[in-house]
């Protein structure tokens, strides 16, 4: 996984609540058993007037030159609700996003983001609105800095603090492989199973045979 | 310390605390499907790892497979074959049980996992699919994960999980005839909002829950993800025990005795503390229909489409406007004013035998047929459902009324790029999501119960069975 320490970039506004994973990456844009080839399908229903022909919708911020190179997305409440598809995270990352800022995230999306090095930052709705107005006139000049070490978002002279679970933060900062980390607890898992087989023998299908 | 049902399940599966709010949780069952499970198996292989508990890992083909008779590995969805073939070979290489396309038990993951007794009360179950919460209806702690998390569970039999809070939703009163679990959950989402369950494990309880059949409880818990909840739970009772007895993967003999003894303990203690409590009365509840592009955009079927100018906040006003624009609806109009193009019976929400029976009874008793010009589909959730329905002759009722009778799978619950309803079409659907484009580009989905779907299909416009 890609480590995340600090990032500065252009912030793109997408102020809608309940942006679902079908909108982030529609099912039909997930064409192969692969994590890549998804960037062009990002927000396809809104970004294109004709998704098949890829005719851009000029009103959609992702298509506007003022937001060129945007890598921070500022979204509405409950971002990433809907399907569990991790493709939503992969598509955002492939399109260059490193941070999503929203008042709240859907849990599965949040977890998927953490595990891929895409930083989900939870900030209150008022802070999100303030961040947006900071960049509104000239997003290219008014870039935003997100610092995971300090757990802060900086926009000009305003600094906003955010919270994130300690072990999730460490995982991101160090770019740790979570499976490798858990494998270090292999003995505990085996001990848990040994005790659990006595408590809940009916769970274990391998010993199989009923009596 | 008194505990909630969720607290008990969490404690019984906690291998170790990782921090104040996160724990390493033991995963009893993993289910995969060809859409996202194939990615999980592939990343496991790439990391040089194996499936740790093969006997506890299952895979089905449901999302991408066609549901037309005579189907095979080739699909209407472009590139679908690749998913199917890759999933088959990875599942074989991993040595896990696969319910392949023409397996007699193949079907939608959340339909077959209770039907086969793979999901059990008191177990943890994960699947890279957000509707895994369905199994909470049995009293299983089941939740959806991403593909990377699924690979973690496959490799280690555990997950690192943020502990959610407890939220109890108590349903008072009894449903009127003609109103179903689907109407209850649409009503709940409308009351609590699409983000109303965020960060919480919900427990559904109360008189109306005890009265619900096991299949109704699965329908109810299915849409906990539409509340953005971590998952939902219903305490298992005798109905659940009777439902599971003798199912292929359910315990037998003395194991059955020890399982059922354990399941009896799975209730919230009388004075357990919940972080949030909601009471909803379902007495007199009318059938619900969704009008917009979020399940929270639901209303009594005979209400009028709300006026964005009356919205409680500016953001809601904008969301309602966008939704009405997409759905091509006028504020103040009735949903019955708009002609319907299609009707869909199916999905992990409402494709079980009781759903099909309810719909078929309506067709048989009313003697109605699908209105001209309406495309109507009935897609049983699994091979087991299909066989049982055919044994009762339900397929004749559906086909004689003008419904297509399909092979099991997710089918047009979501648009994969192949078969679709066509841009601009208005569809009444027993599914769980009315998001823009969910059932195809430009498709306008109205969520409804099985009864409302068949009644609307026959009327040619949206209506509830009570009006017919
Ligand atoms: S039926 Fe629909 S909601 Fe259910 S698992 Fe399949 S695609 Fe997802």
Which chain A residues are Cβ-neighbours of B296 within 8 angstroms?
A: 18
H or E segment to which residue B26 belongs: strand B22-26
- Per-residue pLDDT tens for A56-105? 999 999 999 999 999 999 999 999 999 999 999 999 999 999 999 999 99
Stretches where chain B sits below pLDDT 70 are: 468
Please report which confidence band the pLDDT of residue A210 belongs to, taking 50, 70 and 90 as the band edges. Answer: very low
Indicate the residue of B152, B195, B296 with minimum beta-carbon distance to A182: B152
Residue A211: pLDDT band by 50, 70, 90 thresholds? very low
Reply yes or no on whether the pLDDT at A208 is more than 50. no
The pLDDT, as a whole number, for residue A136 is 86
| Distance of alpha carbon B169 from alpha carbon B205, whole angstroms | 6
Number of alpha carbons in the 13 Å side-chain half-sphere of residue B438: 28
Q: Measured from the CB, is residue B65 less than 6 Å from ligand 1?
A: no
Instruction: Over range A21-31, report the average pLDDT.
Output: 91
Of the CA atoms within 13 Å of residue A165, those in its CB half-sphere come to: 17
pLDDT digits (tens, 9 = 90+) for B372-386: 999 999 999 999 999
ipTM of the complex: 0.94
The stretches of B392-462 forming alpha helices (DSSP H) are: 394-401, 450-459
Chain A nearest C-alpha distance from B467 (Å):
32
Tally of CB atoms within 10 A around A14: 20
Assess whether the C-beta atom of B414 lies below 6 angstroms from ligand 1: yes
- Is the alpha carbon torsion for B406, B411, B415, B418 positive or negative? negative
Confidence of residue A207 (pLDDT cuts 50, 70, 90): low
Inter-chain CB proximity A189 and B157 less than 8 Å: yes
Instruction: For helices B450-459 and B353-366, give the axis angle rounded to 10 degrees.
Output: 30
Q: Is B340 on the interface with A (CB under 8 A)?
A: no
Q: How many angstroms away from the CA of A186 is the closest CA of chain B?
A: 8
C-alpha of B236 from chain center: 18
Q: At which residue do the structure tokens 């906690």 appear?
A: B14
B8 HSE (CA, 13 A, CB side): 21
CB–CB of B437/B416 below 8 Å? no
What is the torsional sign of CA B358, B410, B455, B136? Answer: positive
The pTM of the full predicted model, rounded to 2 decimals, is 0.95
**Record: contact A78-B259, CB cut-off 8 A:** no
Nearest-Cα residue of chain A relative to residue B322: A16
H-state helical runs in chain A: 21-24, 44-47, 87-94, 107-114, 125-135, 166-174, 178-183, 186-199
B385 vs B356: CA distance, rounded Å: 9
B129: CA distance to ligand 1 center in Å? 8
Q: Which residues of B touch A204 (CB under 8 A)?
A: 55
User: Average pLDDT, stretch A175-185?
Assistant: 92
Neighbours of A176 (CB within 10 A): 14
- What is the percentage of chain B residues whose pLDDT exceeds 70? 100
Q: How many CB atoms lie within 10 A of CB B276?
A: 15
User: How sure is the predictor about A209, in pLDDT bands with cuts at 50, 70 and 90?
Assistant: very low
Per residue in B113-156, pLDDT tens? 999 999 999 999 999 999 999 999 999 999 999 999 999 999 99
B273 and A CB contact within 8 Å: no
Domains of chain B: 292-467 (3.30.499.10)
Mean pLDDT over each residue of chain A, to the nearest integer: 93
Output the residue whose Cα is nearest ligand 1's atom 4: B348
Q: Which CATH architecture is the domain A6-165 placed in?
A: Alpha-Beta Barrel (3.20)
Asked if A188 and B15 come within 8 Å (Cβ–Cβ), the reply is yes
* Sign, CA torsion B124/B125/B129/B131: negative
pLDDT given for residue B338 in this prediction = 97
């Amino acid at each position: 996984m890609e480590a995340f320490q600090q990032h500065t970039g252009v912030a793109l506004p997408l102020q809608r609540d309940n942006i679902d994973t079908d909108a982030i990456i529609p099912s039909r844009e997930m064409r192969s058993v692969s994590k890549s080839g998804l960037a062009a399908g990002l927000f396809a229903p809104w970004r294109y007037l004709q998704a098949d022909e890829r005719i851009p919708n000029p009103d959609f911020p992702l298509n506007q030159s003022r937001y060129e190179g945007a890598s921070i997305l500022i979204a509405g409440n409950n971002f990433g609700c809907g399907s569990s598809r991790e493709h939503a995270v992969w598509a955002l990352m492939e399109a260059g996003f490193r941070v999503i800022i929203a008042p709240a995230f859907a849990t599965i999306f949040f977890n998927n983001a953490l595990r891929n090095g895409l930083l989900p930052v939870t900030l209150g709705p008022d802070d999100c609105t303030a961040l947006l107005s900071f960049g509104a006139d000239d997003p290219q000049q008014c870039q935003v800095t997100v610092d995971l070490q300090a757990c802060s978002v900086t926009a000009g002279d305003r600094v906003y603090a955010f919270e994130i679970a300690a072990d999730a933060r460490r995982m991101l900062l160090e770019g740790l492989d979570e499976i490798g980390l858990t494998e270090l607890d292999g003995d505990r898992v085996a001990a848990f199973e040994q005790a659990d087989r006595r408590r809940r023998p009916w769970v274990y299908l391998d010993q199989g045979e009923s009596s | 310390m008194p505990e909630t049902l969720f607290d008990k399940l969490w404690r019984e599966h906690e291998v170790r605390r990782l921090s104040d709010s996160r724990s390493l949780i033991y995963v009893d069952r993993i289910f995969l499907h060809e859409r996202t499970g194939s990615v999980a198996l592939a990343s496991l292989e790439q990391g040089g790892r194996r499936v740790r508990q093969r006997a506890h890992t299952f895979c089905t083909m449901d999302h991408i497979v066609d549901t037309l008779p005579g189907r095979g590995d080739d699909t209407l969805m472009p590139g679908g074959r690749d998913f199917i073939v890759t999933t088959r070979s990875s599942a074989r290489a991993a040595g896990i049980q696969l319910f392949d396309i023409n397996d007699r038990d193949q079907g939608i993951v959340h339909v077959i996992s209770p039907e086969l007794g793979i999901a059990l009360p008191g177990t943890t179950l994960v699947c890279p699919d957000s509707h895994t919460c369905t199994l909470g209806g049995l009293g299983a702690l089941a939740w959806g994960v991403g593909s990377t998390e699924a690979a973690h569970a496959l490799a280690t039999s555990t997950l690192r999980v943020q502990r959610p809070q407890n939220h109890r939703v108590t349903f008072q009163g009894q449903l009127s005839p003609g109103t179903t679990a689907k109407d209850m959950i649409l009503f709940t989402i409308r009351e609590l909002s699409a983000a109303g369950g965020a960060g919480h494990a919900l427990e559904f309880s109360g008189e109306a829950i005890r009265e619900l059949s096991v299949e109704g409880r699965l329908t109810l818990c299915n849409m906990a993800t539409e509340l953005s909840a971590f998952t939902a739970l219903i305490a298992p009772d005798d109905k659940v025990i009777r439902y599971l007895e003798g199912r292929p993967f359910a315990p037998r003999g003395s194991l059955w005795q020890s399982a059922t003894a354990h399941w009896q303990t799975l209730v919230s203690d009388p004075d357990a503390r919940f972080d949030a409590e909601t009471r909803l009365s379902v007495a007199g509840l009318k059938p619900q229909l969704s009008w917009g592009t979020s399940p929270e955009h639901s209303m009594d079927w005979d209400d009028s489409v709300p006026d964005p100018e009356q919205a409680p906040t500016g953001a809601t006003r904008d969301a309602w406007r966008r939704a009405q624009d997409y759905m091509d609806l006028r504020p103040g109009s009735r949903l019955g004013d708009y002609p319907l193009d299609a009707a869909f019976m199916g999905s992990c929400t409402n494709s079980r035998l009781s759903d099909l029976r309810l719909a078929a009874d309506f067709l048989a008793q009313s003697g109605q047929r699908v209105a001209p010009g309406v495309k109507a589909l009935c897609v049983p959730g699994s091979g087991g459902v299909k066989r049982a329905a055919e044994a009762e002759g339900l397929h004749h009722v559906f086909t004689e009324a003008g419904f297509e009778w399909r092979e099991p799978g997710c089918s047009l619950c979501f648009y994969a790029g192949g078969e679709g309803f066509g841009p601009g079409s208005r569809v009444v659907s027993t599914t769980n999501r009315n998001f823009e484009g969910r059932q195809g580009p430009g498709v306008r989905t109205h969520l409804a119960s099985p009864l409302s779907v068949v009644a609307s299909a026959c009327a040619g416009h949206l209506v509830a069975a009570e009006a017919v």
